[in-house]
Structure 1
Amino acid sequence: MTDPATSARHVRESNPVPDLPLHDLAGFTHCWVDADGVRLHAVEGGRPAGPAIVLLAGFPQTWWAWRKVMPSLAGRFHVIAIDLPGQGHSERLERSYDTHTVAAHVHAAVKALGVSTYWLVAHDIGAWVAFSLALQFESQLRGVALLDAGIPGITLPEAIPTDPDRAWKTWHFAFHLVPDLPETLLAGRERDYVGWFLKVKALSPDTFEDAELDHYAAAVAADGGLRASLAYYRDAAESARKNHEALKRQHLTVPILGISSSHGSIPDMAASISPWADDATGVVVPDAGHFIPDEQPQAVAAAVADFILDGD
C-alpha cells in the first residue's frame, strides 16, 4: 500500500505548478506525462477498455471546465481531460504557442497514456488546438467535436466587429496581441479579468460560483500562466498560416461535430467548418452562452455520446 505522504510528495515533484491547488474529481486520477519534452497534466477515469475521449478546455479555464461532463461519460468511455501547455497544472512553454506545435505536444501526451486512437472534444482555444491536431494526426482520430470557438483562419472572423452588440464577444483578440500592455494592466487583477469573461459570456451570470472564479484566476496568475494565455492569441496568425498550409494539401475526412449554443460566439460551428471538412454535422445547445460544458453539461455529454456511438 502506498504511503499517502509519499504519494503527495510524488505529486508535488511531478507537478510543474505545485503552488496551484489540485481539485479532485471522484473516479478520476491525476497524472503528468512527458509530451515531447513538456510535462502535461491529465485527469483520467472511466472505462479503460471503452472508446477513449480526450477533452481540451480553453481560456480562461483548465481541465476543471469538464468536471460536470466527465462523470456522465465515464460509464461508457475512457475519459481523459488534458491541460494544454501553459494551462492549469501543465508546464508553461517558453515560446511556440501556435496550435500546430501545441497539438503535437497534446498528441504525444495521449500516446504516453497508452491510447492509440481517440475521439477529441474541445472548447474555445482547446478547439483551436483540436483542429490543428486533426490536420496533423487525422489517422489516429475517430472523430472531433468542436465547441463554440473562433478558430484562427477557420471560424474566426477576418475583422473584429465594432458594433457594440457584437464587439464584446471578440474585442479581447486585439487586446491580447498588444505587446506588454495586457500584462501591465492585468497582473494582480486576474480575478477581475477572468470573472468578466465567465460572468458575461455565460448566458446566466450565476453560472460560476466564487470558488470557481478563484480557481481559474489563480491558474492564470500562477507561474507564467498569464503570459502563456496571451501567447495563444499572439501566435494566432502563425496558427492560421499553418492551418491553411495544411489545408492546401488535404481536407479533413474525420467526422466533425460542431457544437454551438443559443447565445454563443459562433452561431453555427458546423457551417463554419464545412468548407474544410468532408463530414461536418452540428447541434445547437439551447439556453447556453459561450461556456457550454458548464452551462449545459448533460446536453454536451449526450451530444458527445451520440456522436461517438453513431460513429462506432
Structure 2
Amino acid sequence: MPDPAITTRLSGNPVPDLPLHDLAGFAHRWVDAGGTRLHAVEGGRSNGGPTVVLLAGFPQTWWAWRKVMPTLADRYHVIAIDLPGQGHSERPDGSYDTHTVAAYVHAAVRALGVPSYWLAAHDIGAWVAFSLALEYESQLHGVALVDAGIPGITLPDAVPLDPERAWKTWHFAFHLVPGLPETLLTGREHEYVGWFLKAKALSPAAFDDAEIEQYAAALAADGGLRASLAYYRDAAASARGNHAALDRQHLTLPVLGISSSHGSIPDMASSLRPWAGNAAGVVVPDAGHFVPDEQPGAVAAALVDFIARGD
C-alpha cells in the first residue's frame, strides 16, 4: 500500500498501467515540459534551500536514486526526474539527442517553480546533464556526473574488442542496429535488464529480482524500449551538439566527476577537464557502474561536500 503521508497525483500520468512506487517523504508530480509530460518525484526542504535535481540512466528510472534521496532531503529540496521515455514520463516521437532532452528536463524544473539548481546525474542521465549545463549554465550552480561515457566527451570513439573490456560497452553498437534490438529484446526485457544490473554492479547481489522486474516493466511499457534505444541512436547528434556548444564556450561552473573503483570510466574528472576548467573528481570504492545503488552513502556524501564547497 502507498504511504498515506505521500500525496500521489495520478492525473496526467502518461504510463498509467505501470505500477507506481512511492518513497517516504516524497510526492509524485507530472509537469508539462515543452509539450512533453515528465514525471518528477519531489521532497525535502522547500523553504528556500538549495534544490538538487537527479537524473538516472539506462536501464533504470528515478528509482535508482531512492537510497540517496532521503539523505539529501535532510538538507535540500530534492527532485528526481524520469527522462522522456523513462519510467512514468511520456515517450515522445522525434529526437532523443541530449540537447533536445535537456530542454525538456530544464522546462520541467522551471515548471516546478525552481529558478536555479544543482544537477546530479548517472549514465544516460549524465549525457543529458552535460548538454543541459552547456545550454543553461547560468541557471545551474554546479553539475555532478556519475560514471558515464558522454557522447563526444568521455565516450570512447571505438568499442574495444578485448573481451576484458568489451563487455562494458558492446551494447552501444548493438543498440544502434535498426530493428534488431527490438526483435530480440521484446518479451525478454527482464533478462536483458538483469544482465546489465548484475554484470555491471561490483556485486551481483546489489539488485534483487523485484528491482530487476521493476526496471524491466518500465522498459517494456508503452514505447519504453523504443525510447531507450533512441538515446543511443541519437548519440552522434548529441556529440555534434556538445561540440558545437563547446566551440562557443567551455563550461565554467563547478563540475564534479564521480567515478567508481570498478566502473566504466576510470577517471571522470580528467576526462571532463578539457571541457570544464572547474572540474574536480572523486572515486567511490567498492562499486561498479551503478554507483548510487551500490554505495549510496558515499555518493550522498560526495554531493553534500560538492554543494557545500560551491556555496
TM-score by length of 2: 0.97
- 1:245-301 CA-partner distances (Å, limit 9, x unpaired): 110000000100000000000000000000000100000000000000000000000
Q: Give the Cα–Cα distance (whole angstroms) in 1 for the partners of residues 178 and 84 of structure 2.
A: 21
Match of 2:284 in 1: 285
- What letter is aligned with 1:298? G
SS in 2 for 1:276: coil
Question: Which runs of 4 or more aligned residues in structure 1 lie more than 3 Å from their structure 2 counterparts after TM superposition?
Answer: none
Shift of 1:89: 0.2
Match of 2:134 in 1: 135
Match of 2:197 in 1: 198
Match of 1:19 in 2: 17
Matched, 1:186 2:185: yes
Q: Give the Cα–Cα distance (whole angstroms) in 1 for the partners of residues 298 and 132 of structure 2.
A: 25
Mapping for residues 20-169 of structure 1, pairs under 5 Å: 20-48=18-46, 49-169=48-168
- What letter is aligned with 1:37? G
SS in 1 for 2:221: helix
Shift of 1:93: 1.2
Query: How many residues are matched?
Result: 305
- What letter is aligned with 1:208? F
- What letter is aligned with 1:156? L
- What letter is aligned with 1:25? L
Mapping for residues 203-214 of structure 1, pairs under 5 Å: 203-214=202-213
Match of 1:247 in 2: 246
SS in 2 for 1:265: coil
For structure 1, the residue ranges without an aligned partner over 5 or more in a row are none
SS in 1 for 2:135: helix
Q: Give the Cα–Cα distance (whole angstroms) in 2 for the partners of residues 311 and 98 of structure 1.
A: 29
- 1:80-116 CA-partner distances (Å, limit 9, x unpaired): 0000000000000111100000000000000000000
- What letter is aligned with 2:29? C
Q: Give the Cα–Cα distance (whole angstroms) in 2 for the partners of residues 186 and 158 of structure 1.
A: 26
- What letter is aligned with 1:286? P
- What letter is aligned with 1:157? P
Q: Give the Cα–Cα distance (whole angstroms) in 2 for the partners of residues 214 and 184 of structure 1.
A: 20
SS in 2 for 1:39: strand
Match of 1:227 in 2: 226
- 1:14-66 CA-partner distances (Å, limit 9, x unpaired): 10000110110000000100000000000000000210000000000000000
Q: State the superposition RMSD in angstroms.
A: 0.9
SS in 2 for 1:18: coil
SS in 2 for 1:159: coil
Q: Give the Cα–Cα distance (whole angstroms) in 1 for the partners of residues 16 and 134 of structure 2.
A: 34
For structure 2, the residue ranges without an aligned partner over 5 or more in a row are none
Question: Could you tell me the percent identity over the aligned residues?
Answer: 79
